[in-house]
Amino acid sequence: MILVAGSLNLDLVVRAPIPRPGETVLGGELARHPGGKGANQAVAAARAGGQVRLIGRVGHDDAGSEFRAALAGEGIDVAPVTATNAPTGTALVVVNPAGENTIVVSPGANLHLRPGDLAPGWFEDARVVVLQLELPLETVRRAAELGHAAGATVLLNAAPAWPLADELLRDVDVLVVNEHEAAALLHDVADGAEMADALARRVPLAVVTLGARGVAWAARGGGGRLPALPVTAVDTTAAGDAFVGALAVALGEDQALEGALRFASAAGALAVTRRGAGPSLPRRAEIDALAG
Ligand code: ADP
Ligand code: NA
């Protein structure tokens, strides 16, 4: 069982040049997709072959019901996704012609998931607990604590960038960050491998994703680099979520570390070949085919 505790945000996506302050631009047709790092990583893990349970909060609104239906349709256990008196989280996403995205998140119901809402029973059968930083920090910390107590591997994707307290990191086994998030955690470290080394002083395994330049990782007693798999990038949205979801599945299957990172890299690479977040998350067979 892969247990994800995280955010659910309805993504409102439009392709457009990214406007400067005060500027109005015309964009393409509006698309609505279930998104948010929690939901995306849950879907990524389910498609990568994991049995997944998701903990989260939505609003008493259409977006909330759409979310539960869409996630259940992916085979995800959504019993711990309940409704609260705030709008479902929403992300306003602009994708520019170069495929780069700019995002504004209105967290809404996500902020209503409190530490006391986390039932220890949800954690008991978890092999891997997957967390990000789009929930209240104290809720993330409590989830890490419950995951650790249950004997699960606790994987924290420290996104969006935020300083990490030792009280949180002491329960984290695997830290995954992209370059920007790593830079926010470290001072004066520019190289990916050095970033991973520095972060591995705080957690057993640190993984820094470097986009098209692949991955740097470090653990006590070793580390390395893994080049990205060569693909044509169309839209980088959700590369990190695909990577994290697939990595959780591989670690839950006890795959050896380098194989697990290659599997995750293949999932990340496939996600950038397609537009959007949810729609671009790859399935097990294609991840296996690319990872080789
Ligand atoms: P995020 O989406 O969090 O910014 P990254 O952009 O670092 O994360 O992407 C996560 C992983 O996805 C990378 O480490 C890499 O394995 C894969 N990936 C991302 N962009 C590309 C790309 N252009 N080509 C191949 N693989 C990619
Ligand atoms: Na994508």
Q: How far is the CA of 121 from the centre of ligand 1 (A)?
A: 34
Going by pLDDT thresholds of 50, 70 and 90, the confidence category of residue 276 is confident
Q: Which residues of 212-246 are buried (b: 16+ CB within 10 A; e: fewer)?
A: eebbbbbbeeebeebebbeeebebbbbbbbbbbbb
C-alpha 215 – ligand 1 centre gap (Å): 8
Residue 210 identity (one-letter amino acid) = L
ipTM more than 0.95? yes
Instruction: Take residue 111 and report the two structure tokens written for it.
Output: 């902020």
Q: Report CA(256)–ligand 2 centroid distance (Å).
A: 27
To test the pocket of ligand 1, the residue of 95, 101, 195, 236 to mutate (highest count of ligand atoms within 8 Å of its CB) is 236
- In whole angstroms, give the CA distance from residue 281 to residue 45: 9
Task: Please state the atom number of ligand 1 nearest to the C-alpha of residue 210.
Answer: 7
Looking at ligand 1, which residue's alpha carbon is closest to its atom 21? Answer: 212
| Mean pLDDT across 144-160 | 97
pLDDT at 236: 82
Which pLDDT value is given to residue 244?
98
Q: How confident is the model at residue 285 (pLDDT cuts 50, 70, 90)?
A: very high
* 109 Cα: distance to centroid of ligand 2 (angstroms): 25
* Averaged pLDDT, 103-130: 97
Round to whole Å and give the CA distance between 202 and 205: 9
Nearest ligand to the C-alpha of residue 99? Answer: 2
What's the start-to-end Cα distance of the chain, in Å?
Answer: 25
The H-or-E segment that residue 101 falls in is: strand 101-106
Instruction: Give whole-number Cα distances, 148 to 69, 125, 171, 253, in Å.
Output: 30, 12, 6, 18
Among the listed residues 11, 171, 173, 241, the single catalytic one is 241
Written as one string, the DSSP assignment of 57-69 is: EEESSHHHHHHHH
| Interatomic CA distance for residues 119 and 138, integer angstroms | 15
7-12 average pLDDT score: 94
CA distance linking residue 90 with residue 9, whole number of Å: 5
The DSSP call for residue 77 is B
Residue range 173-210, pLDDT digits in tens: 999 999 999 998 998 888 999 999 999 999 999 999 99
Interval 70-116: pLDDT, tens: 999 999 999 999 999 999 999 999 989 987 889 899 999 999 999 99
Span 36-58, pLDDT tens digits: 999 999 999 999 999 999 999 99
Residue minimizing CA distance to atom 26 of ligand 1: 269
Residues enclosing ligand 1, CB less than 6 A? 178, 209-212, 214-215, 228-229, 231, 233, 236, 239-240, 243, 265, 268-269, 272
pLDDT confidence of residue 200: 95
pLDDT band at 154 (very low <50, low <70, confident <90, very high): very high
- Known catalytic residue: 11? no
Task: Look at residue 188 in the predicted model and tell me its pLDDT.
Answer: 81
The reported pLDDT for the residue numbered 24 is 97
